[in-house]
Chain A
């Protein structure tokens, strides 16, 4: 999850990281994490990283920040498949959630 600024708007955070700022905190799906440090100037990514247990890596030479996934437990947060959207060869987005209603085998492969 790449960001160009250390402070972001709620819309940017939701669009890039999938976490929505709500009165109850930062929410993704039905899960909410208390979060009370947002100001009218934006949301500090360092606060987000602290609240969600995510690493934040800064690359000052390129003016970029990257949030990693939540750390400290398992790769899978639950057995529910996370809401992941990836493009096909033509760049069309495909939501893995759209597979619901049918068994699915997701295969990671590579050309290398």
Chain B
């Protein structure tokens, strides 16, 4: 998804994609191999990036030449995703129709984001999109004790899942979700592991949660 932009902007900008996949590289491999990225493509099984404030995907973080974050985590699409224009098939079930229509309403601002990125690559620190360290810190998500504890539970869950103890892993996935209810990554990765049975195990679905929390809140408006 990012290779085209990387080709355009490299070597002035490097892109590094990080797959948040508690299942490990096997889950990401088909996607990565199909994309054939020239840029580094990494795997984050324990959701280490969550400690920087990543709570959904796709999320971008801008880092300057000195290793300083100049834009903290925010929604990052390189182009308008297909789901924004997906037609509802004539034979769609009511549930399928609802899911497609809800997904179309998600807030995606790919054009604004990529224009800002190009401006930063061109103008560097003079770009108005490159934030000062004070502004980066102001925008950084708070990390209360509950969310920090959720990170520990998620790491335990991932470790237990990898060790084959799915029952105990599920307990810790649930606890991570309870303690950090605004994290979509904790929810969705655990659901992916559970597979089609996840509504029975976790008591909810993506559609239920988006409806409850509001499609307009799934991807917050970019503060560019």
Q: Which residues of A contact B (CB under 8 A)?
A: 1-2, 54-57, 59, 61-62, 64, 66-76, 78-82, 84, 86-89, 91, 94, 96-97, 99-112
Contacts and interface: CB of A to CB of B under 8 A. Distances in A.
A57 B52 CA distance: 20
Contacts of A94: 16, 40, 42
Interface stretch (B17-25, B102-110, B215-223): B17-25
Interface of B: 1-2, 11-21, 25, 27-32, 40-44, 48-49, 51-54, 57-70, 72-73, 76, 117, 120-121, 124, 133, 136-137, 140-145, 147-153, 155-156, 159-160, 163, 165, 168, 172, 185, 188-189, 191-192
Given A108-B73, A110-B21, A112-B192, A62 B58 contact: no
23 contacts: A1-B152, A54-B148, A62-B160, A68-B152, A69-B143, A71-B148, A73-B143, A75-B140, A78-B133, A79-B70, A80-B68, A81-B61, A88-B40, A88-B42, A89-B29, A103-B64, A107-B16, A107-B18, A108-B18, A109-B20, A109-B57, A110-B20, A110-B188
A34 B40 CA distance: 37
B194 to A, nearest CB: 11
Tell me which of B40, B54, B124 has the highest count of chain A C-beta atoms within 10 A of its own C-beta.
B40
A76 B51 CA distance: 8
**Main SS at interface, chain B:** mixed
A59 B172 contact: yes
Contact of A59 (B57, B144, B160): B160
A105 B152 contact: no
A48 B19 CA distance: 30
Contacts of B136: 76, 79
Tell me which of A54, A71, A91, A103 has the highest count of chain B C-beta atoms within 10 A of its own C-beta.
A103
A106 B152 contact: no
B165 A62 contact: yes
Contacts of A69: 51, 143, 148, 151
Contacts of B185: 108, 110
Given A64-B159, A75-B141, A110 B189 contact: yes
A57 B156 contact: yes
Contact of B59 (A96, A100, A107): A107
Contacts of A102: 11-14, 65
B44 A108 contact: yes
A75 B133 contact: no
B63 A106 contact: yes
Contacts of A67: 152
A44 B53 CA distance: 28
Contact of B63 (A72, A81, A109): A81
Contacts of B72: 75-76
Contacts of A72: 143-145, 148
Contacts of A87: 25, 42-43
